[in-house]
Amino acid sequence: MPSASDLLDIALSAASAGAAVLAEAARDRDASSDGLGLRTKGASGDVVTEIDLRAERAIRAVIAEHRPDDEVSGEEYATTGSGSALRWSIDPLDGTSNFVRGLPHYGSSVAVQDVDSGAWLAGVVHAPELDHVYSAGSGLGAYRESGGIRRRLRGPATDATPVLLAVGFSYDPEQRARQLAELPTRMSAFTDLRSIGSAALGLCLVAEGSVDAFIETDLYEFDWAAGALIAEEAGLIVKRPATMRGGIVAHPPHLPVA
């Protein structure tokens, strides 16, 4: 079994390959989304572009180069590989709607798990337009690199103000209505609300202390896999869903989330 540090190096390279596709596409993007190959999947508003597909192929190519027998589960393509003790969970473009609309909060997310123990070993979220690379290895801490500066992440300060809750909303109208109905109860310990449009980056923002907690109740594993480990290694309490689809909560010990 390779070390968490070795796996983190692969995850960094894979996420960088995906982010390079996103960065190139962003330079060519215009307001009408021409050339993005935009189509809707599932609920109205849940979109996928040709860029998602290209970025996932780039990520998979890097993983295959270093770990050809590992299982790889992604958002856009079928699961590949079997028989290895490691499984990769990738989201080539988390925050697709942000990307399409010209908002900078999107990126490539790559995480790897020990199949036998279920432990997450390494995770990276690379947000090219923000120039942020968030990363964590199991037992190695969480970091953000930006502009050549690498900073250890330790979560929000206990005296941070205003106290901000970051949330995500489902594209499904019924699920979104339930999420909105729960907000008054959840907001009791918070001053204000933020919706980032990317679960991976929402979790990273808690890890770096820009917001105080994150919650979203309708996610797939690839949405949260890397961000959850980054938040956890930053010292946050992370409650992952027990199944491939469900909700996730990340908060510091001093600030429980209802």
**Residues 124 and 133: beta-carbon distance below 8 Å:** yes
**What are the backbone dihedrals phi and psi of residue 177, each rounded to the nearest 5 degrees, phi first?**
-60, -40
Q: Kindly report the CA angle at 216 between 211 and 217, in degrees rounded to 5? A: 160
Q: Which CATH number fits domain 164-251: 3.40.190.80, 3.40.50.300, 3.30.70.360, 3.40.50.720?
A: 3.40.190.80
**What are the backbone dihedrals phi and psi of residue 130, each rounded to the nearest 5 degrees, phi first?**
-85, -15
**If pLDDT is split at 50, 70 and 90, which confidence band does 41 have?**
low
Domain regions of the chain by residue span: 4-153, 164-251
Q: Which residues neighbour 37 within 8 Å (Cβ) at sequence distance 6 or greater? A: 49, 50, 51, 53
Instruction: Give yes or no on whether 4-153 and 164-251 have one common fold.
Output: no
Is 223 annotated in some ligand binding site?
A: yes
**Residues 138 and 233: beta-carbon distance below 8 Å:** yes
Would you give the DSSP letter of residue 3?
A: -
Residue type, 71: E
State the average pLDDT over residues 232-244: 89
- More confident: 187 or 200: 200
Which pLDDT score, from 0 to 100, does residue 18 have? 98
Residue-level length of the chain: 258
The per-residue pLDDT of the chain, averaged, comes to 90
Distances 200 to 35, 168, 182, 235 between C-alpha atoms, Å: 26, 10, 22, 17
Residue type, 201: L
pLDDT tens readout for residues 80-122: 887 789 999 999 999 998 998 899 999 999 999 999 999 999 9
pTM to 2 decimals?
Answer: 0.91
Residue 32 in tokens: 């009408």
CATH 3.30.230.10 is held by the domain 4-153: no
Which pLDDT score, from 0 to 100, does residue 36 have? 63
pLDDT tens readout for residues 133-176: 999 999 999 999 999 999 999 999 999 899 999 998 877 888 88
Percent of the chain with pLDDT over 90: 70
Sign of the C-alpha dihedral computed for residues 178, 184, 189 and 190 taken in this order: positive
- Rank 1-5, 95-99, 230-234 by mean pLDDT and report only the highest: 230-234
Instruction: Give the span between the Cα atoms of 256 and 222, in whole angstroms.
Output: 25
Which pLDDT score, from 0 to 100, does residue 46 have? 47
